[in-house]
Structure 1
Amino acid sequence: MGHDAGVLGGVVLHKPFLNAIGNPTGEWVIPWISSSYSLSACITCLIVATFAFKIGRRGTILLGNAAAVVGSIIQATANSVAQLTVGRIITGFAIGCISSAVPTYLAETGVEIGDRGPANAFNAIMLISGVPIAYWIDYGCIKSNGQWSWRVPIAFQCIFALVAGLCMLFLPDTPRYYYAKNRHTEGDDALERLNDAPIDSEQVQRIKREILIAIEAEEEAKSSLHWKAFTTSGIIDHTPMKIIRRLCICFWLPMIREWMGSSLLAYWSSVILSRVGAAPSLVSLLAGILNICFALGCVPLYFTIEKVGRRSVLLYGACVMSVPMLIITVLQAVPATQSIQWAGIGIIFAFLFVFGYAWQGCVWLYCSEIAPLEYRHVGGAFTGFGEWLMTFITVFAGPIGLTNVGWKFWLWVLSGNLVAVVFVFFLCPETGGKTLEQVDFLFSKSAFVTGMKKAERDLEEDEGENGNERWIELQGKTAEQHVEIKG
C-alpha cells in the first residue's frame, strides 16, 4: 500500500518511463494515471461494504493481496497509458480491500485492551515505510536509462503482496466475526489461539461474554437503522447506539486526514521539491529523505498511543500541524527566493513528521474502534472510501491547482488542518483503555463528546476484573439474561 503510493511519484519525470507510455501530453494525463489508483480504491471500498461480512476480514485481505499481484504485474509490463491505467485500477481495487479490512482485523484480534493501539501503530509504520522504500528503489534505478529502471521498482510491490498473502493463509479470522456469523466453534478456537488459554478459562469466558452481549445489543438497535437516516444523522442520530453517527465519523475523519495535505506531499514530492531548482538527482534524494522522515514520525506512536490516548494525539496533533502549514502557505505567497524555497522544504519535513505521528496511524485505529461490531466491515469500507476519495481529489487536482492558482491552493490544505481540530474536539471521544464493547456503551449515551463524560466516569469507577461486570450493569443487562456461554 505504501510502496504503490510512493513508487510512481519517483518515476513520473523519468524519460524512459515517459518514452514507454508514449510521452503523453496534457497536464491531466500523469495526474490521472496516478489518481486512478486512488479512485479505484475509493469505489472498491463501497463495493467491499456489500460483501466483506460474507467472506470475512481474512477473506477480504486475501482477495486484496491476490489482486495486488495481478495489478503490479500489469503496471510493470505496461507500454501504454491505457495498460498502465488498468494496472493502477486493479491495484487500487486491491488496496481498497486491504485498507478496509486490515485495521478492523487488528482491532478485533487484540487480546488485551492495550494491544490495539500498538498493533495499529506498527501497521502504520509498515505502511508508510513502503513509501521511502519505493523512493530509494527509484533513486537507485533511475540512474540508468534502460526500461528496467522504472519497471523493477513497480514490480517490486509483488513481493509485499505475496508475503502478506502467504502469512494470512495461516491465520484465522477474528473471534468477533465468527460469533457474529453464529460460528461459535471457530470463534472459540480463535479465542483460544489468541489468548493461549482454554475456552473455559475465566479470561476467555469474560471476553466471549462481552462480545456476545455487544452482538445482541446491536441486533436490538437494527430496527431503528435505515439508510435514509444518513441524510440527517451527520447532525442528529436517533438510533439507540448512534450507529449512523459512528459510521459517518468513519467516513469524515480519514477524509479530513487527506485534506490536510499528506497525500499531496507524498505523491508529488519530486515535483514540489523540483521547484527549488535543484538537479533531478538531488530532488530524488530529498524526496527519499522526506519520506523517511514521514515514516519515522510513526515510530513514537507505537510507544505512546496507549499512554497519551487517541483523542489527544489527534486533537493536539492537528493543532500543531496547523502552524507549519500556515508557514508553508505564507512562504508560498511571498516573492520566491531560493532561501525561502529551502525554508519551505524544511517546514514540509517538520509537518510530515508530526503528521506521521498524530494522524497517519491513529485515524485507522480510531475508526476501527468506534464502528459497531456487525457494521465494522461497513465502517472499514467508509474509512477507506473517505480516505481514497479525498486522495483522488488531492492527487488529481493538486498539481493542476499548484500550476493554475499557485500559493492559494495551500489555503485549501490549511483549512483541512483547522477543520480537523474542530471535528475531533466535538465529535471524537476517547476510545483508549476501553474494550470495543464499552465503546458501544459510550455512544449509546450521547452523540457528542460532552455528553459522554459521565458515561466515561461510570466506566472508570470499576477497573480490572470487575470492569466487564460493571459494563454489563450499566447496560442494564446481565450475561445470564441474554446469552448462554458454552465452554
Structure 2
Amino acid sequence: MGLITVRGRNLYRLMQFICGTSFMMYGYDAGVLGGVLLHQPFLDAIGNPTGEWVIPWISSSYSLSACITCLIVATFAFRIGRRGTIILGNCAAVIGSIIQATANSVAQLTVGRIITGFAIGCISSAVPTYLAETGAEIGDRGPANALNASMLIGGIPIAYWIDYGFTKSNRQFSWRVPIAFQCIFAVIAGSCMFFLPDTPRYYYAKNRHDEGDAALVRLHDAPLDSEKVQLTKREILFAIEAEDEAKSSLHWKLFLTSGIIDRTPMKIIRRLCICFWLPMIREWMGSSLMAYYSSVILSQVGARPSLVSLLAGILNICFALGCVPLYFTIERVGRRSVLMYGAMVMSVLMLIFTVLQAVPATPAIQWAGIGIIFVFLFVFGYAWQGCVWLYASEIAPLEYRHIGGAFTGCGEWLMTFITVFAGPIGLTNVGWKFWIWVLAGNLVAVAFVFFLCPETGGKTLEQVDFLFSAAPFVSAAEKRLDIEEAWVEGDAQVKEVEEVGVKG
C-alpha cells in the first residue's frame, strides 16, 4: 500500500529509481556475457565451439532480437501502455536469464539471449517515454533521463567486476551466477511497477480521462481543479486534437525518404525517422563497440596483458561517470548543444586516435591512445548516452510516442547488432583502418544534429509538437494556448473579486 499512496515529487523520484533499475539490468546484461565468453568453464558448458562465427553470434543474437522486438512492440504497446510494456520486459528478462544461466549448449544459450533481447527491446522502447510523460515540471525530463543513462552505463562495470571476481574460480557457478544475477534488477523493477500508474498522457490518448485525472493529481500533488493540473490537462487534450487532424496526411511512402520530404502539418514522419536514425548514429559512433570489446581494443592499442582487465574495468566506470554531469547541466545547456558539440569533440578525439593507430607504435603513443579512449568514452557518456533517449522521447508525437520509442530501440539495436557482430572481425582483419568507419559516424552525427534536430529543452511535450509544424498551424496552436491561459487568468480574477466581495 505504501507505493500506492506516494505522491508528488516523491512519486516521480520513485518512478526514476524503478525505471533506472530496469535500465541498469539492460546495461548489466549488455556487459555480463563479455566477461565470461573466453572463460573455460563457460566454453566447456556449451561444448567448446570452434566456429569463427559462433561466439559473435551468441553475443549479437541478443541485439538482433531486441531490434526485431522493438518493431513488434510498436504493434501492441499502445494497447498495454508504457507501464505494461515495462512490466512485460522485466518478466521476460527473468525467464531469459534463467535459460541462459542453466544453458548446456549453444542452442539453449542462444534461446536465452533471444528472450532477454525481447525483454530489453520492451524496456528500451518504453522507459524513456514513461519518464518523459510523467514529469510534472518542464525541467524534470532532462535530469530524469540523465539519471537513467547513468544507471544504464553503471550496469556495465557492475557486470564486469562481478565477472572479474567470479571467474577467478574454474567451477561452473563462476559464470552461471553472474548471468543469473540480473534477475534481481528485473524482479525489483517489475514488481514495483505494478503499484505505479501509467502516464497521464497515455490515459488521455486512450480516452480514459478519469485515470488520467487521477495520475495528474498524484504527480502534481494538487487538486484536480487546481490551475496547474487543469492547464496541463488542456494542453494534452489540445495536442491530441491537433495530432488527430494531422493523421489524414500520413502515408507509409514518406518513410522511404526518411521524412526529409514530409509535408504533413506536424512533420510526424520526420520526427519518427529522427527517433530511428539518432540512436543508430550513436552506435555507429562506437558506443557498444567500446562497451562490448573494451578488453580487445585495449590489447590492440598496446596495453600489457596484466593490465588489460584492470583498465577495462576502470574504462567502463569512466563511461558511467561521464553521464553524471549531464544530470546537472542538461536543462541549462540544452539537448541540441550537448549532442552537437559533444559530437564535434568526439570527432577530434577519434581523428587523433586513428592517426595514433596508423603510425608505428612506441610506449608513449600506446599510452596516448589509451588516454584518448578514456576521454572519448567520458565525453560519450555525457553528450550522447542519455541525451539521445531523452531527445527521441520528446520529439515523438503523443499518439505515436510508442512508435517513436520502438523506432528508437530498433535503430539502437540494429546498429548494435551490426557493431557487435562485425566489430571483432573488423578489428582483426582491417586493423587501424577500422577506426575510420567509427570516425565517419562521429562526423555524420555533427551534421545530422545541426541540420535536423531543433532544441526541445525548456518546453512542455505539447509545445514540442509545434516546433516541427508549418507556420499557419503554429499560429493556430499558439492562439488556442493563449486563450487557455486567458481562461486561467480570468478564473483567478473572478476568484479574487469573489473573495473581495465576501470580505466587504
Q: Same fold (TM over 0.5)?
A: yes
Provide the rounded CA distance (Å) in 2 between the counterparts of 1:139 and 1:349.
Answer: 20
Are residue 26 (structure 1) and residue 32 (structure 2) matched? no
Provide the rounded CA distance (Å) in 2 between the counterparts of 1:125 and 1:405.
Answer: 33
Q: Which residue of 1 aligns with 2:355?
A: 330
The structure-2 alpha-carbon separation of the partners of 1:281 and 1:145, relative to structure 1 and needing over 3 Å to count, comes to farther
Q: Which residue of 1 aligns with 2:151?
A: 126
AA of the residue aligned to 2:149: A
Q: Which residue of 1 aligns with 2:137?
A: 112
SS in 2 for 1:433: coil
Provide the rounded CA distance (Å) in 2 between the counterparts of 1:366 and 1:206.
Answer: 24
Are residue 319 (structure 1) and residue 344 (structure 2) matched? yes
AA of the residue aligned to 1:201: S
Q: Which residue of 1 aligns with 2:191?
A: 166
Q: Which residue of 2 aligns with 1:465?
A: none
* Shift, 1:322, TM fit: 0.7
Provide the rounded CA distance (Å) in 1 between the counterparts of 2:81 and 2:162.
Answer: 34
Deviates more, 1:432-441 or 1:12-21: 12-21
Deviates more, 1:183-192 or 1:339-348: 339-348
Indicate conservation of the 8 Å contact 2:301/2:369, yes or no: no
Q: Which residue of 2 aligns with 1:13?
A: 38
Q: Which string of whole-angstrom CA distances, capped at 9 and with x for unpartnered residues, describes residues 88-112 of structure 1? A: 1100000000000000000000000
Provide the rounded CA distance (Å) in 2 between the counterparts of 1:284 and 1:169.
Answer: 39
User: Within 5 Å, which residues of 2 pair with 1:238-277?
Assistant: 238-275=263-300
Indicate conservation of the 8 Å contact 1:247/1:371, yes or no: yes
Provide the rounded CA distance (Å) in 2 between the counterparts of 1:356 and 1:120.
Answer: 12
SS in 1 for 2:260: coil
Indicate conservation of the 8 Å contact 1:438/1:471, yes or no: no
CA RMSD of aligned residues (A): 2.0
Are residue 473 (structure 1) and residue 498 (structure 2) matched? no
Are residue 353 (structure 1) and residue 378 (structure 2) matched? yes
Q: Which residue of 2 aligns with 1:407?
A: 432
Are residue 63 (structure 1) and residue 88 (structure 2) matched? yes
Q: Which residue of 1 aligns with 2:118?
A: 93
Provide the rounded CA distance (Å) in 1 between the counterparts of 2:270 and 2:68.
Answer: 21
Q: 1:175 aligns with which of 200, 203, 220?
A: 200
Indicate conservation of the 8 Å contact 1:175/1:191, yes or no: yes
Provide the rounded CA distance (Å) in 1 between the counterparts of 2:213 and 2:478.
Answer: 21
Q: 1:302 aligns with which of 299, 309, 327?
A: 327
* Shift, 1:171, TM fit: 0.6
Percent identity, please. Answer: 85
* Shift, 1:22, TM fit: 1.4
Indicate conservation of the 8 Å contact 2:303/2:366, yes or no: no
Q: How many pairs does the alignment contain?
A: 462
TM-score by length of 2: 0.88
Unmatched 5+ residue regions in structure 2?
1-25, 488-504
Provide the rounded CA distance (Å) in 2 between the counterparts of 1:328 and 1:318.
Answer: 15
Q: Which residue of 1 aligns with 2:247?
A: 222
* Shift, 1:264, TM fit: 0.4
* Shift, 1:341, TM fit: 2.8
Unmatched 5+ residue regions in structure 1?
459-469, 482-487
* Shift, 1:142, TM fit: 1.2
Indicate conservation of the 8 Å contact 2:259/2:271, yes or no: no
Provide the rounded CA distance (Å) in 2 between the counterparts of 1:32 and 1:302.
Answer: 36
SS in 1 for 2:323: helix
Provide the rounded CA distance (Å) in 2 between the counterparts of 1:30 and 1:342.
Answer: 29
Are residue 377 (structure 1) and residue 383 (structure 2) matched? no
Are residue 190 (structure 1) and residue 215 (structure 2) matched? yes
AA of the residue aligned to 2:412: E
SS in 1 for 2:93: helix
* Shift, 1:335, TM fit: 2.4
